[in-house]
């Protein structure tokens, strides 16, 4: 097969190449594509190097599949062009997620939504993926009525510029200890405020209703993936100074009563999920545990004493892997297996 990775030089694109090699695609023809400024660069893949092509040249190669991680604008322009030459596009941007004709897929939950004639498949938002995977088995058993979720999102979700900002501010902070007013030069700022020794309740762009685009994704994508528009979701997104993965505090109310022991068992047996929960041993999910791992970790499972039929849990996952690259490659694997 020919497999293109569009946005191959970015954080998620680089991770897609890594996951492709890990999951048995290293012997296929891999086409790396990126923006004009990256054309001609050589990037590592498995035990060889790939020369970066323009997106137009990648289309001319007529790949069988294309993994996109180049932003919504690029996806809107080029995904249909890849599809027109018979390529199946698996897109990691927000461009197609809420399109009624495009399946939005977490393979463990709803790969059945992908039909043979679908040429564009959407990869959900990273925060949505880990939340719905953790809750999917519980929804089947108890029927979710309402979710209140607060996310604590890694700077890696914003990209390389955000990582550089954090690193620079850490260096400045170590030489100017106690100065809470430190910030990067404006040209190196990915965020409107310092992120080192700080966090802010802001992810994405603010909308007229005072929620952000990242918060709306958690609402809309959850309903589409779980196939239930009646689920109520209230979301707050925060950016925190970590790099290992996204964390989420989730309060979920069910339509039906549950037992803690059964809920724990359901979570433990959900594909792609690791039950990581032993408070007496201080065992709970953290980004430092999830980093580099494809699983979604769930812990701090406890009944909400203030609300009937309601459960609290804490969910952590590597947002570059299961939250993006791994989920896309898993979709690819299932598409190939179905051929």
Quote the CA–CA distance of 39 and 54 in Å, as a whole number: 6
The two three-digit tokens of residue 30, written as one number: 């891999």
Alpha helical stretches, state H, the chain: 11-22, 55-60, 72-84, 107-110, 126-142, 160-175, 213-226, 260-268, 287-290, 326-338
Of 162, 130, 169, the residue nearest 267 (C-alpha): 130
Q: Which of 139, 216, 246, 335 is catalytic?
A: 246
Residue 207 has what DSSP assignment? -
CB 270 within 8 A of CB 134: yes
246 tagged catalytic = yes
CB 235 within 8 A of CB 215: yes
Q: Which of 126, 139, 196, 335 is catalytic?
A: 126
What three-state secondary structure class fits 108? Answer: helix
DSSP structure string for 18-63: HHHHHTT-TTSEEEEE--GGGTT-EEEETTEEEE-B-HHHHHHT--
The CA–CA distances, whole Å, from 327 to 20, 205, 251, 318 equal: 11, 24, 24, 11
Active-site annotation, residues: 126, 246
């Amino acid at each position: 097969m020919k497999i293109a990775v569009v946005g191959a030089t970015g954080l998620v694109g680089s991770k897609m190449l890594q996951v492709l090699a890990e999951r048995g695609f290293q012997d296929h023809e891999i086409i790396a594509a990126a923006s004009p400024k990256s054309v001609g660069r050589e990037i590592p893949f498995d035990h060889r190097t790939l020369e970066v092509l323009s997106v137009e040249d990648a289309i001319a190669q007529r790949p069988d599949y294309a993994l996109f991680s180049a932003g919504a604008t690029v996806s809107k322009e080029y995904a249909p062009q890849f599809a027109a030459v018979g390529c199946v596009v698996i897109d990691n941007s927000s461009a197609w997620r809420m399109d009624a004709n495009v399946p939005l897929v977490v393979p463990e939950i709803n790969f059945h939504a992908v039909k043979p004639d679908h040429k564009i498949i959407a990869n959900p938002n990273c925060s949505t993926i880990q939340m719905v995977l953790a809750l999917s088995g519980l929804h089947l058993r108890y029927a979710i009525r309402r979710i209140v979720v607060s996310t604590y999102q890694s700077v890696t979700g914003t990209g390389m510029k955000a990582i550089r900002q954090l690193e620079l501010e850490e260096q400045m902070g170590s030489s100017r200890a106690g100065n809470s007013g430190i910030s990067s030069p404006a040209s190196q700022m990915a965020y409107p405020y310092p992120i080192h020794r700080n966090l802010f309740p802001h992810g994405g762009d603010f909308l007229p209703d005072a929620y952000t685009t990242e918060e709306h994704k958690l609402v809309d994508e959850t309903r589409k993936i779980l196939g239930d528009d009646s689920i109520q979701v209230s979301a707050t997104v925060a950016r925190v100074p970590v790099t290992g993965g996204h964390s989420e505090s989730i309060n979920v109310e069910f339509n039906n009563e549950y037992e803690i022991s059964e809920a724990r068992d359901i979570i433990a047996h959900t594909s792609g999920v690791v039950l990581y929960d032993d408070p007496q041993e201080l065992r709970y999910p953290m980004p430092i545990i999830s980093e580099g791992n494809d699983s979604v970790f769930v812990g701090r499972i406890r009944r909400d004493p203030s609300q009937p039929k309601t459960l609290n849990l804490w969910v952590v996952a590597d947002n570059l892997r299961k939250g993006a690259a791994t989920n896309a490659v898993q979709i690819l694997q299932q598409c190939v297996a179905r051929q």
